[in-house]
Amino acid sequence: MLELGLHLAIYAALFGLFALVTGKPTLRALALGAAIYAAQALALRYAHYLPTPAFLQASSWNWIGKAVSIVAVLALFPLLTTDERRETGLTIRFKKGWAIRALPVVFLLVLLPIYFARNAKPEPWNTEAIAFQATMPGFAEELAYRGLMLAVLNVAFLRPWKLPGAKFGPALIITSLMFGVSHGVTLDDAGFSVNTFNLVRTTLSGFLYGYIMEACGTLIAPIFAHNLSNAARYLFVMLK
């Protein structure tokens, strides 16, 4: 809980910084964004207390946590306004011209983890690892970060800036940094620590997933990119 409190304090600081600059956001947006972050974090942390199906009891992967995270985040969907729901990307419709904008970024997201794993020791084949990485992380994390959280903050802050093929705003920066914080900043009984590599790597990947979401307009795109990126890294070290 201390770690979650630290993460939410970082989120509040980022939100407050951009609120001072833009003067637009409300306390509701601050609170709802925090609730979305906390819902997925608490689900991942405490889902192991739930009964585990027999076929997953020998698993080393957090299938239950990811599944509960999805349910917990979706449970907050009714709290969103009509505009926020429209921004979540829960649609099968892609924006016109999405492929030329998004596919090069997807390709980069596949190459980056392979590059970072180039010196990793080969690992034995693990079908479950591939199945997990090709499904659960993308669904759970993209729904929370590039789905509901980005939607709430986009409505609050708007999109005053442009990238080739997409507009974006403070929401993309905040959600990307919080994605990095969730993977690289820890606070537990052993104390406070920052894994700089994980923080930078996941913040960058979070920004790229967010760009794909903005460029395509549907959550299908970053979910696919995220799962493909994760699976590519594991396939690479298993097939070395």
CB atoms within 10 A of CB 106: 20
**In the structure encoding, which two tokens stand for residue 163, read together?**
């990238």
pLDDT tens per residue across span 162-177: 999 999 999 999 999 9
**% of the chain beyond a pLDDT of 90:** 85
pLDDT tens per residue across span 200-215: 999 999 999 999 999 9
CB atoms within 10 A of CB 114: 15
Mean pLDDT (the chain) is 95
3-state secondary structure 19-36: HHHHCCCCHHHHHHHHHH
Considering its fold, how many domains does the chain have in total?
A: 1
The domain of 135 spans: 2-239
How far, in Å, CA of 111 to CA of 237, rounded? Answer: 13
Residue 189: pLDDT band (50, 70, 90) is confident
pTM here is: 0.95
Closest to 139 (Cα-Cα) out of 216, 206, 225: 225
How far, in Å, CA of 114 to CA of 10, rounded? Answer: 30
